[in-house]
Amino acid sequence: MRIGIVCPYSFDVPGGVQNHVMDLAEALLGLGHEVSVLAPADEESTLPPYVVAAGRTVPLPYNGSVARIAFGPFYTNRVRRWITRGDFDVLHVHEPLIPSLSMMAVLSARGPVVATFHTALTRSRMLAAAQGVLQILLERITARIAVSALARKVQVEHLDGGAVEIPNGVAVAKFAGVAPLPGWPGECTTGSGGTLGFLGRFTEARKGFPILRDAFVALAPHRPGLRLLVAGPGDPDDLFGRFPAELRDRVTFLGLVSEVDKARMLRSVDLYVAPNTGGESFGMILTEALAAGATVVASDLDAFRRVLDGGRAGRLFPTGDPAGLRTVLAELLDDPAQRAALTACGDQVVAHYDWPVVARRVVEVYAAAIEATDGRVIDQEWAGLGGPR
């Protein structure tokens, strides 16, 4: 099967959707399919051989964060040329409802289109301002995938249609097979050591880093060996300035890390902490941490609760509550048997998210979309949007 995948967000900046697209592409290649990915990126960027760079991006505030997207007539022409050259059996676009390569690909497609929706955003100024375009988009999408029950709920209640729920995948072998970083995780003994981990933008409010910081600052004086390992974008001075001077030497900042070093980082912690405050439809970092064998502690968000099987595969704490987080961390650090039980359950849960398993379900959707269109070519005329007349 010849498959074209479109990512809306820049490959020059790491992110959950970008990682999803790359892992899906590699899983599909492993299953014997031909895959080409179109994504925003500088043409001089180092990219996997299956990725075609569409060009530079501009920032767009979206879902409590800032997405870097490419949009406009110049990119429309690039999208059309890529589609024509690829002669794809199916086109798979991600997050097509924001102004992006994905939206332009849907409007330019002439065959079956599968769309994956990642966010559970129910209200958006952009969507409200583009209802006409939105209707055209939805009519051109042959089949929809939602990565979570929350994302699927948006499709049913706000976008006049259903979606097949297929979760984000995780390359289990990639995370389970790597060694920890040198010198980590260290010794975790009752009342003393332990390593906590956080990965993400520590400056982004919805990631909840201040909640983890406050819990760490409260716990560290009582546990002289406790350390915090942080990875993600940001200024080191900004990070360390958020901690009391006497605790800064117990915080290690890795900055942006490669996919390999991300896996090694997750293998280096006793407890991976996800203190997010909202805006999450799934929780990919949780499945990655589970695959790496870390015990997971996460905010009691609905999306996180679903991934962690209601708390069987990881401990949940009240969202936004540093004191509640501190209590859970102290209990788990002093209870290796409980950590081992959570990790064992996590191994069972994450097996369902392994990319070869997930990719086969996606291929079933592709096959259904191809069968639904029955080889028909869609008329490309769409008035008022810059297309042919």
- Label residues 112-139 b or e (16+ Cβ within 10 Å = b): bbbbbbbbbbeeeeebeebeebbebbbe
Location of structure tokens 């499709």: 155
Helix (H) or strand (E) holding 279: none
Three-state DSSP class for 41?
Answer: strand
8 Å CB contact between 349 and 343: no
Best CA proximity match to 117, nearest among 69, 76, 63: 63
Query: Which pLDDT score is estimated for 381?
Result: 39
Query: Which pLDDT score is estimated for 131?
Result: 59
State how far the alpha carbon of 362 is from the alpha carbons of 35, 116, 144, 147, in Å. Answer: 13, 10, 10, 11
Query: Which pLDDT score is estimated for 70?
Result: 84
Query: Which pLDDT score is estimated for 62?
Result: 59
Query: Which pLDDT score is estimated for 313?
Result: 97
pLDDT tens digits, the chain, 389 residues: what are they? 999 999 999 988 878 899 899 999 999 999 999 999 999 988 788 899 999 999 887 766 655 566 777 888 889 999 999 999 999 999 999 999 888 999 999 999 999 999 999 876 555 555 555 556 677 888 899 999 998 887 788 777 767 777 899 999 999 998 988 999 998 987 777 777 899 999 999 999 999 999 999 999 999 999 999 999 999 999 999 999 999 999 999 999 999 998 899 999 999 999 999 999 988 878 889 999 999 999 999 999 998 999 999 999 999 999 999 999 999 999 999 999 999 999 999 999 999 999 999 999 999 999 999 999 875 655 443 333 333 32
Q: For residues 94, 311, 359 and 288, what is the CA-based torsion angle, rounded to 10 degrees?
A: 80
pTM: 0.79
DSSP string for 46-57: ---TTEEE-B--
Domain definitions of the chain by residue range: 2-169+354-373, 172-351
Query: Which pLDDT score is estimated for 120?
Result: 65
CATH code linked to domain 2-169+354-373? 3.40.50.2000
2-169+354-373 and 172-351 in the same fold: yes
Query: Which pLDDT score is estimated for 42?
Result: 85
Measured in residues, the chain has a length of 389
CATH code linked to domain 172-351? 3.40.50.2000
- For residue 13, is it left (φ>0), alpha (ψ between -120 and 50) or beta? beta
